[in-house]
A and B are shown apart, each in its own frame.
Chain A
Amino acid sequence: MDQSSSLKFLGSWADSHTHRVRLALKLKGLVFEYQEEDSVNPSPALLLHNPIYKKVPALLHDGRPVVESLVILQYIDETWTDDPIMHADPFERAIVRFWCHFADDKLGPAVGLVFSSAGEGQKAAVDQVHENLKLLERELRDGAFKGRRFFGGDNIGLLDIVLGCGSYWLAVFEEVMEVKLVDPDTFPLFHAWLRDFEEQKEVKETIPPIDKLLEHARGIRQMMLSLSTDTTTATTIGAPATGSTTSNNDAAVEEIGLLQESLVL
């Protein structure tokens, strides 16, 4: 593959949007330099290249920044045209873009809410995740993706990357929270797709090992729970805690917020 240009990629190791970009670069066989970012303390480079959102991922191509993971994925696909991750047909592209929007607009936030809530609120969040997964299951069974191995067809495509790079968090949360999110009986096709996706070589090389993710998630959940016991007014664990003044708590709240934002699948 001809790659005479330079690629640098700012990301965070546990961030699903970072994984999206990393996986796309890998699928395209592109070489890049990687810089790990601390979400709570963004580097000068990140602030320079993503001044509006100040978040990872940011892709620098010959020094020019592209930000927002979906924008980056399409940029990669349009710049390096071998091994396309988007279909050529406009209607197919529209379907994929729609479900990417759904993933970031509905499914991701619902999953994040499962993680950041408890009790009745969490039960409602779990129901919401199930409602959203049902829509995807139906599309896999009878709709736009019927009969396909991946959302992209025979190969991983944009929607697989977008949905897949957050979907391993479902298993992480199931374990940390002891809730059932992807029951193979209720969502057989989604479950089968996810297992297939996770077995792909490039995916295994991209997603961190599950024990590291579990440790990371448990740590954040602990912080959330300890924050909620510090106050009597936070209705959502991880909401800015009234009266929390220590910098540790501020950092924890910020980290939780950033994790929730990164949990858009």
Chain B
Amino acid sequence: MDPPSSLKLLGSWADSHTHRVQLALKLKGLEFEYQEEDAINPSPALLLHNPVYKKVPVLLHSDRPVVESVVILQYIDETWADNPIMPADPFERAVARFWCHFAEDKLAPAVGAVFSSSGEGQKTAVDQVHDNLKLLERELRDGAFKGKRFFGGDKIGLLDIVLGCGSYWLAVFEEVMEVKLVDPGTFPVFHAWLKDFEEQNEVKETIPAIDKLLEYARGIRQMMLSLSNGTSTTAPAAAGTTSAINVAVDGRSG
């Protein structure tokens, strides 16, 4: 194992993509230095190491940067081979990678749309989330993940990390927005998986306390509503709000 000083993570405390990397490092038993980044005011280090996207998370390994959370996760898994988070079989790896793509491409934007909309638009967004969750539920019930405790099998794997580290936001939004996203009656297997995931030690040590997330989400929702009412017109505030929303909500960070 490398000495502790060789790993540094640039992240943001409420960012689900940051949590993905923190969880993976924890599952691998890797020590790392952490630097908190303000999404609106990226540090010189962040701009230097992620000039294309200028976003967290960024993992520095002996000062060499790796960016994009799913890229980082695979880098971690390929560099430290113990406690693998990817399956060994190429077909299972393809299945995991496909559903990671689905999570980022369909599910996360749908969840973000729930948070950033209201009225009829929000109802449509909620329906979209439900359609996407149905696809996952079906896969858990009858498909590629049938009979498994986690998407990765007996232990948490890449897809659990990717899906799980944003899924607690579902509960946050349900409370802040008063919408039902994960009804245990409709999505029993997904719901059971999520509760199991959230109970894992490493997960509890990674995800911030729910009350902090609720406070954070409520704050952003307030800003969004005041923006849409036209009471907040300063461009930097609007840009900052949008940036914070993008970072926290639909995972549009690295």
Binding site for B on A (CB under 8 A): 52, 61, 64, 66-68, 70-72, 74-75, 78-79, 90-91, 93-94, 97-98, 101-102, 106, 135
Contacts and interface: CB of A to CB of B under 8 A. Distances in A.
Nearest to B61: A91
Nearest to B62: A91
Contacts of B64: 91
Interface of B: 52, 61, 64, 66-68, 70-72, 74-75, 78-79, 90-91, 93-94, 97-98, 101-102, 106, 135
A79 B90 contact: yes
A102 B66 CA distance: 13
Contacts of A106: 52
A101 B98 contact: no
A78 B90 contact: yes
Nearest to A75: B94
Given A68-B98, A71-B94, A98 B68 contact: yes
B97 A68 contact: yes
12 contacts: A52-B135, A64-B91, A68-B98, A71-B98, A74-B93, A75-B93, A90-B78, A94-B66, A97-B70, A98-B66, A98-B67, A101-B68
A202 B91 CA distance: 26
B94 A94 contact: no
B71 to A, nearest CB: 5
B129 to A, nearest CB: 15
Given A66-B91, A97-B68, 17 more contacts: A61-B91, A66-B98, A67-B98, A70-B97, A75-B90, A78-B90, A78-B93, A90-B78, A90-B79, A91-B61, A93-B78, A94-B66, A97-B71, A98-B67, A101-B68, A106-B52, A135-B52
Contacts of B102: 52
A71 B61 contact: no
Contacts of B106: 52
Nearest to A90: B78
Contact of B91 (A52, A75, A101): A75
Contacts of A70: 97, 101
A102 B52 CA distance: 9
A116 to B, nearest CB: 20
Nearest to A77: B90
A93 B91 contact: no
Contacts of A66: 91, 94, 98
Nearest to A143: B51
A71 B98 CA distance: 6
A71 B101 contact: yes
A94 B75 contact: yes
Nearest to B138: A51
Nearest to B72: A94
B249 to A, nearest CB: 18
Given A93-B75, A97-B71, A68 B101 contact: yes
Contacts of B74: 93-94, 97
A2 B72 CA distance: 34
Contacts of B97: 68, 70-71, 74
The residue in A64, A90, A97 that gathers the most chain B C-beta atoms within 10 A of its C-beta is: A90
